[in-house]
Amino acid sequence: MKSYSKEDINQLILYKQHLSYTSKIDDIIQIVKNLCGLQATGTFEPYVYLFSRKNHFQKDELEKELYETKTLLKIRGMRNTLFIVAKEDAPFINKATYNLKENRFDGFFTHSDFTRKEYNELESKILQVLNNNSLIASDIKKRINSERNVSIIISLMCDKLLLVREKPPKGWKDRRNRYTLMKNNFSDLNFEDLEENGAIQNLIRRYITAYGPVTEQDISWWAGLSKTKTSSAIENIQSQVEKITCSDDIYYANKSDIEFLKKSSIPKLPTINLLANLDPYLMGYKNRKRIIKEEIYEFVFDRSGNATTTILLNGEVIGIWDFHTKPDPTVKFLLFEKTTKEIKNEIMTQVKQIGEFILEQDVKIKECSNPELLTKKSAGTFMRPLKNC
């Protein structure tokens, strides 16, 4: 097997994920497809993922595709996590990850005091209320006159593809969603006539195309699939992928990736990226030693493996960033290593740009020191890594 350096592999993945200066494009649907979806756990993060990858991205572009043309939608997918996916990809992603949602549904009754009878009654009432309606959870709760936790029922109904998440009432940072019937919005999607093994193979092919070279461990972790299902799927697509090595690990890659790597060279101009927390580039892998040095890992990933906001140099993490709005709108950054004056100036330029995109006003810039270990902090701290700066 041919061996390649992490530097060459990073250049390839930056290019494929539209993070190199020459690979940004104008088509957000294609970006979503090329990444196998955008993690949508947070509210504003998907907008920043696109800001980092699309030429001159405007927030209303994503809202148009999600809520007007409906070429994108939110479904629960890989790792049982909420994703924004292309409409045409939703059926196979749903089928490949269906068992994860089934387990979540069954686990709900194991770990709550709801009975299946009560769930079915609430589901029926919610379907009636949302017929030709689009409502937030609190309004649904009022309409069905229930004292129970309706939000979890709504979430499970979204998993079952009975409901779909609609536009938040107060814009892109609003954590509330409206909900409406899936069949009234995506009646042309066929979620039934797919076979699980074929869907899993398709998902893994797409993952290798987007994130490869990847290890078998990466594939299993990213998709949330068992090792048995992962190994079986890889066996069935062996003829379509190549094996390579990097730092003694075995990776799977597309043949087109190999051609890129053969011609690869480190660009004359360094590639600098500021990424939001949970960005696909960071969250696409279980094995992260290619993109981050071991000595800074716990400043960037929390105990659950969630990635904070990062600064990349040629595809490797060299810093983190954060922002606050009070007393003054400020974007903060911290570098784990010394850089040239030119690189630091470019980082500060991008810090200002991303801050103005998120906060929608002029921002101050502040450099921080003394990072805090995210692995020693409570859950959710990864979202504000420089809170105490």
Instruction: Write the CB contacts of 20 (distance below 8 Å, at least 6 apart in sequence).
Output: 11, 14, 267, 271
pTM: 0.96
pLDDT at 247: 86
Give the C-alpha separation, 330 to 366, whole Å. 7
Here the tokens at position 156 are: 């499970």
**Range 112-184 classified under CATH 1.10.10.10:** yes
pLDDT at 268: 62
Residue owning tokens 């929608």: 360
pLDDT at 202: 98
Give the C-alpha separation, 366 to 368, whole Å. 6
Q: Could you tell me the end-to-end alpha-carbon distance of the chain, in angstroms, rounded to an integer?
A: 47
pLDDT at 215: 97
Question: Domain ranges in the chain?
Answer: 6-91+193-263, 112-184, 292-383
pLDDT at 248: 86
pLDDT tens for each residue of 67-125: 999 999 999 999 999 999 999 999 999 999 999 999 999 999 999 999 999 999 999 99
**Of 162, 199, 210, 178, which is closest to residue 36 (Cα–Cα)?**
210
| Radius of gyration for the alpha carbons in the chain, expressed in angstroms and rounded | 22
pLDDT at 213: 97
Residue owning tokens 């890889």: 234
Instruction: Write the CB contacts of 50 (distance below 8 Å, at least 6 apart in sequence).
Output: 28, 31, 38, 57, 61, 62
Show the low-confidence residues of the chain (pLDDT under 50).
none
Please write down the long-range contacts of 15-20, taking CB distance under 8 Å and 24 or more positions apart: 15/260, 16/209, 16/210, 16/211, 16/257, 17/53, 17/210, 17/211, 17/280, 17/281, 18/53, 18/54, 19/52, 19/53, 19/271, 19/273, 19/281, 19/312, 19/315, 20/267, 20/271
